[in-house]
Structure 1
Amino acid sequence: MLLLIPGPVTTDARVKAAGAQDYAPWDNDFRQLYRQVCEGVLAIAQAEPEEHVALALPGCGHFAVEAAIRTFVPPGGRLLAPSTGAYAARLQKLAGDAGRVAVPLHVGATERVDPQAVAAALERDPSLTHLALVYSETGSGICHDVPELARIAHALGRRVIVDAVSAFGALPLELRALPAVDAVVLTANKCLEGLPGAAFAVARRDSLEAARGNAGSWSLDLADIYQHTLAPNAGPRFTPAAPALAALAVALELYREEGREARLARYTANMRTLYDGVIGLGLTPYLPPQLQGPIVVNVHAPDAPTWHLQLFVDALKQRGYVLSNFYNTEEPTFRVGCIGAFGADQMRQAVDAMGAALRDIGITRERAGLSRFIPQPLTA
């Protein structure tokens, strides 16, 4: 099966093999592997080891997002959270449930965050101590200019938390050049092409020291996790997702061999193949070309009476491809991930399978309905 979702992703056979073994988390060899993985994540973030640290915690990306909010924003604190889509809405909910106040900033469903609007909102409300951003919004497919927005926050004396869960390892990031960023959160199972179960926060050491006592949760206290790392021969604080971390160690070796720019180029080629391919099937991408990011492509549901998302997903799965059976947009769509251990040739075959799956449920190109805008192929 090829996973065409924006995470967990299809992984290399060597990564799977590493995750198929048993590991003792407190064994000295595993402690060394654990530290090597954290150092590898820190290097990808282009952070300064003297100023930053990579902290691992079990769970999905939402665990790391909540941990960052709880750790760096004190109880009752206020943060500006641009409403970029479904995952920004989840960030806002996590903040609210943790007793923090997430102040939304309206962003159109098919718009990027406006730097001037962010600056104006921060200037209007001095009680907003933090700006919380989603780098790649998989609910829409749009990637936002997080480095530029972080620089604006820095100029206004505010701190920044970045949800880079579906962006880390592909989109540009140089933490050493972004001193306002308290933390960037990520997971193993997206652009790093590891297995699910391990989340990370790359955070500033001085911010972690200043944040002790904020979290109100022992499990999700990044400041406490950081203190644990300072002990000699430190390993995981609690039982980690050991197979996922061991698999990530292999995935990071493969990442270093490929390089970030080459990985991003491969994902972009996947995206272009998919974008043009669905147009060829008579379907309409959710975003115009100038807004389409390389991580996930959302596609408007066919304007046909026989359309049913689950039937389409089931028909495609019979051909060896797995799609999400839900959508995160206001209008019905289906979304296709462009990340994982595969290339444009496999995406081309997947598009052919989509056409066959559509025919299985009674939808031909002529009946698919290109009704929303006339999309231009990206390769034109």
Structure 2
Amino acid sequence: MLLLIPGPVQTRPEVRAAMAEDIAPWDLDFQRRYAWIRERVRDIAGGVAGVHATLPLQGAGHFVVEAAIRTFVPAGGRILIPHNGTYADRMIRLAREAGREPVVLDLPDTRGVRAEEITAALRADPSISHVGVVYSETGSGILNDPATVGAAARALGRRTIVDAVSAFGVLPFDLSAQPECDAVLFTSNKCLEGLPGIGFAVCPMERVRERAGLAGSWSFDLGDVLRTAERAGWGSFRFTPPVQALHAFGVALDFYEAEGGRKARLARYTENMRVLREGAIGLGLRPYLDEAHQGPIILTLHQPDSPGFGLQRFVDALKRRGVLISNFYNTPTPSIRIGCIGAVTPDDMRFAVSAMAGALDELGVGRRAA
């Protein structure tokens, strides 16, 4: 089965096989490997040894996003969140339920936020301490540029939290060039092509130390994660870690390096997107985004206006042909979501386009109807 969703992604057999090993988290060999994972991830983020630290947390991306908000935004404090997709919705809720006050900057979900919009919102409200931005919005597929957002925030003395869950390891990011950034956040199961189970924050260590104990949650206190590492060693974990997922993530990082790192992986995903987008247009399907605003992570298409089309019926027809896509959408109007990331190639995308053609034929959706 070809898995084309924006996460969890399709993985290599070697990565999945690494999950089959029983591991003791205190074993010295595992601790050395885990410490290497933290260093490698810090380097991918553009972090500097002794200045920035990788702070892992068990669970989904939402867990580490909440942890960053709780750690860095003071209780009752205000965080500006550009709202142009589903994951901004979720950041807003996480902030609100953590006792922080989200200030929502409403935007269309068809383009990224602009520097002047950030600047205007921050100037209008000096009480805002942070901007929380979603780098890659997999609701529609648009990108918000964290460098642009960061420069606007830095100019006004504010800080940022970057949700890079579906961007990290592929889209450009350099923590050392963005001193206003308190945390860049991501997970093991997206563009680095590992398996689910771990969220990561890469943060300036001094900022984390300043905020230790202020999260209002022991589990979600990134300062406590850092304290444990500094006290017990960088191969240590506070609570029982997902050791098999971490081991598999290390294997995935080995493949990432062997492929050529960020630039090589971005090139593959970009070609995946090109093949899929052009093929979908050739089938009469209409992309949700203009090409100028299309990121390489996920393609969103308008659902065909045809009485024979139903999203679940289309998903089922594709699955019978060996392709699995999302059976839900996150846009205001009905859409189709197809991921371009994971251990997949442009030839896989050509196979997917062929399967889409067969599925549309089965549902009686012709090019004109689409």
User: Is the pair's TM-score, using the shorter chain for normalization, greater than 0.5?
Assistant: yes
Q: Which runs of 4+ in 1 moved over 2 A?
A: none
Residue 2 of structure 2 is aligned to residue 31 of structure 1? no
Match of 1:44 in 2: 44
- 2:211 & 2:131 partners in 1: Cα distance? 16
What's the offset of the Cα at 1:199? 0.8
Match of 2:365 in 1: 363
Match of 2:345 in 1: 343
**1:352 pairs with 336, 351, 354, which one?**
354
Unaligned runs of 5+ in 1: 369-380
Match of 2:14 in 1: 14
- 1:320 & 1:199 partners in 2: Cα distance? 30
Which stretch shifts more, 210-219 or 53-62? 210-219
- 1:301 & 1:65 partners in 2: Cα distance? 31
- 1:180 & 1:282 partners in 2: Cα distance? 45
Residue 298 of structure 2 is aligned to residue 307 of structure 1? no
State whether residues 114 and 148 of structure 2, in contact with CA within 8 Å, keep that contact through their aligned partners in structure 1: no
Match of 1:110 in 2: 110
Match of 1:248 in 2: 249
Output one character per residue of 1:193-234: Cα deviation in whole Å (capped at 9) or x when no partner.
Answer: 001111100011111011122211111110101100002435
- 1:228 & 1:116 partners in 2: Cα distance? 40
**2:291 pairs with 283, 289, 292, which one?**
289
State whether residues 80 and 132 of structure 2, in contact with CA within 8 Å, keep that contact through their aligned partners in structure 1: yes
- 1:37 & 1:363 partners in 2: Cα distance? 48
Match of 1:159 in 2: 159
What's the offset of the Cα at 1:307? 1.2
State whether residues 79 and 130 of structure 1, in contact with CA within 8 Å, keep that contact through their aligned partners in structure 2: yes
Output one character per residue of 1:134-161: Cα deviation in whole Å (capped at 9) or x when no partner.
Answer: 0000011011111121111111100100
Output one character per residue of 1:322-361: Cα deviation in whole Å (capped at 9) or x when no partner.
Answer: 1111000000001011001111111011011011111222
- 2:356 & 2:232 partners in 1: Cα distance? 54
Which SS does the other structure have where 2:344 is aligned? coil
- 1:150 & 1:264 partners in 2: Cα distance? 22
Match of 1:371 in 2: none
Which SS does the other structure have where 1:261 is aligned? helix
- 2:231 & 2:249 partners in 1: Cα distance? 24
- 2:111 & 2:290 partners in 1: Cα distance? 10
Which stretch shifts more, 64-73 or 255-264? 255-264
Output one character per residue of 1:248-274: Cα deviation in whole Å (capped at 9) or x when no partner.
Answer: 101111111222111001000000111
State whether residues 195 and 245 of structure 2, in contact with CA within 8 Å, keep that contact through their aligned partners in structure 1: yes
Match of 1:274 in 2: 276
Match of 2:205 in 1: 205
- 2:222 & 2:85 partners in 1: Cα distance? 26
Letter of the 1:109 counterpart: D
Match of 1:298 in 2: 300
What's the offset of the Cα at 1:366? 2.6
- 2:201 & 2:232 partners in 1: Cα distance? 21
Match of 1:76 in 2: 76
Unaligned runs of 5+ in 2: none
- 1:152 & 1:48 partners in 2: Cα distance? 23
- 1:330 & 1:184 partners in 2: Cα distance? 28
State whether residues 73 and 214 of structure 1, in contact with CA within 8 Å, keep that contact through their aligned partners in structure 2: no
Which SS does the other structure have where 1:355 is aligned? helix
- 1:255 & 1:290 partners in 2: Cα distance? 27
Match of 1:238 in 2: 239
What's the offset of the Cα at 1:317? 1.0
Residue 219 of structure 2 is aligned to residue 219 of structure 1? yes
Letter of the 1:2 counterpart: L
Query: What percent of counterpart residues are identical?
Result: 54
State whether residues 135 and 146 of structure 2, in contact with CA within 8 Å, keep that contact through their aligned partners in structure 1: yes
Letter of the 1:246 counterpart: H
- 1:27 & 1:38 partners in 2: Cα distance? 17
Output one character per residue of 1:10-51: Cα deviation in whole Å (capped at 9) or x when no partner.
Answer: 111111111222211122221112111111111100111221
What's the offset of the Cα at 1:283? 0.7
Output one character per residue of 1:295-332: Cα deviation in whole Å (capped at 9) or x when no partner.
Answer: 00100001101111111111111111111110000000
- 2:85 & 2:318 partners in 1: Cα distance? 26
State whether residues 134 and 162 of structure 1, in contact with CA within 8 Å, keep that contact through their aligned partners in structure 2: yes
- 2:73 & 2:232 partners in 1: Cα distance? 29
Which SS does the other structure have where 2:327 is aligned? coil
Letter of the 1:249 counterpart: G
- 1:252 & 1:168 partners in 2: Cα distance? 13
Letter of the 1:177 counterpart: A
Letter of the 1:82 counterpart: P
- 1:221 & 1:357 partners in 2: Cα distance? 47
**RMSD of aligned alpha carbons:** 1.0
Which SS does the other structure have where 2:184 is aligned? strand
What's the offset of the Cα at 1:99? 0.4
Number of paired residues? 368
State whether residues 34 and 236 of structure 1, in contact with CA within 8 Å, keep that contact through their aligned partners in structure 2: no
